[in-house]
């Protein structure tokens, strides 16, 4: 077995606390990653609080993981010791169903083994995430990371990056596309970066006028404060694509009205309440309302390579593990520009003192 040390939620809505545990021994197809950085995703908070139901405790959150390969199994070909590797939102799947064979492991018809708050393929052994000193993962579910980038700022790409990159690629966003990004947070700021890099004309929709300067620094050409009366009316039927990153309940119809014929509103945020949609807004202009969830391993690697080539990383605020409770509070309030990342060295020092 492989000893590990992390921070875990012992029960629903609990404050995270030190947690010693064991991971499996490194098998012939596995690599052992000594974690250096782990992003703090808003979904970590939802899972700790059991907002979506089905949470498993104790829970070690974290699925935006970057670190150094410390050990490789006998059959491993993709990595060698000393390489930089990443782990995103999943660590295994059946690999045989139609989705897996298409490189869409996140939609595995049998079982997707989530990086945390899930189970291994036996559907019994719990998975523990990246708020920890190390992780053992099959090489097929580890991603190659360019060591030349800011590794702390790369970590959020493993969730926030692929979550926004995937739908933009699926809808063929390119030079001349008119794109809207709803919300400028951890997801939204990455959506802006990718859409701008793809050559789109980008508009950010936000309730907060204070974010206009940031939006323009990120490359957005336009900024709309949605709570201002009449702000959206001149924009009716103008957009090819709108990426909605907001997880709070809000009116989708106002954004559907902004789409051109056959335009798409793609949801990547997950509000806690059902949304009412006016059917005529879809029917009369053949508009599309759909969702998107991360990406498969091939597309995630493509995204990382794209980011390395374009020098795209997340805007981050680094914290020690002892600041995680405050980071959760600030994330809920939207008080972060734009992703917290845990320096796992802070966790290793605590582990050393615990002995």
**CATH code at 161-291:** 3.40.50.720
Whether 273 has a pLDDT exceeding 90, the answer reads no
Whether 354 has a pLDDT exceeding 90, the answer reads no
The predicted structure's pLDDT at residue 188: 96
d(C-alpha 276, C-alpha 273), whole Å:
10
Q: Where do we find the tokens 């990718």?
A: 194
pLDDT band per the 50, 70, 90 thresholds, residue 355: low
pLDDT band per the 50, 70, 90 thresholds, residue 256: very high
Q: Where are the domains of the chain?
A: 2-159+295-354, 161-291
Residues 130-181: tens digit of each pLDDT: 999 999 999 999 999 999 999 999 999 999 999 999 999 999 999 999 999 9
**CATH code at 2-159+295-354:** 3.90.180.10
């Amino acid at each position: 077995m492989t000893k590990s040390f992390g921070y875990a939620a012992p029960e629903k809505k609990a404050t995270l606390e030190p947690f010693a545990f064991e991971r499996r021994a490194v098998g012939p197809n596995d690599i052992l990653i000594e974690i250096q950085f782990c992003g703090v995703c808003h979904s970590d908070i939802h899972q700790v609080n059991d907002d979506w139901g089905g949470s498993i405790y104790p829970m070690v959150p974290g699925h935006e993981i970057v670190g150094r390969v410390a050990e490789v199994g006998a059959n491993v070909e993709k990595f060698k010791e000393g390489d930089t590797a990443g782990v995103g939102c999943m660590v295994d799947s059946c690999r045989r169903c139609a989705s897996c064979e298409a490189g869409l492991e996140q939609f595995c018809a049998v079982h997707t083994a989530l990086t945390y708050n899930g189970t291994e393929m036996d559907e019994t052994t719990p998975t523990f995430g990246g708020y920890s000193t190390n992780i053992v993962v099959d090489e097929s579910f580890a991603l190659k990371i360019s060591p030349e980038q800011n590794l702390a700022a790369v970590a959020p790409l493993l969730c926030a990056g692929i979550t926004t990159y995937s739908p933009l690629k699926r809808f063929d966003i390119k030079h001349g596309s008119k794109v809207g990004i709803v919300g400028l947070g951890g997801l939204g700021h990455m959506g802006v970066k990718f859409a701008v890099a793809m050559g789109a004309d980008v508009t950010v929709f936000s309730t907060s006028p204070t974010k206009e300067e940031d939006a323009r620094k990120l490359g957005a050409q336009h900024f709309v404060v949605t709570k201002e009366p009449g702000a959206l009316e001149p924009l009716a039927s103008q957009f090819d694509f709108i990426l909605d990153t907001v997880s709070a309940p809000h009116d989708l119809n106002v954004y559907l009205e902004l789409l051109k014929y056959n335009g798409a509103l793609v949801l990547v945020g997950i509000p806690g309440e059902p949304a009412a949609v006016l059917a005529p807004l879809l029917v009369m202009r053949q508009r599309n309302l759909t969702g998107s969830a991360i990406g498969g391993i091939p597309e995630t690697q493509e995204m990382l390579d794209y980011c390395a080539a374009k020098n795209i990383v997340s805007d981050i605020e680094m914290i020690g593990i002892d600041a995680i409770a405050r980071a959760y509070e600030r994330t809920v309030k939207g008080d972060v520009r734009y992703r917290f990342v845990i320096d796992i060295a802070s966790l290793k020092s605590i582990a050393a003192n615990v002995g």
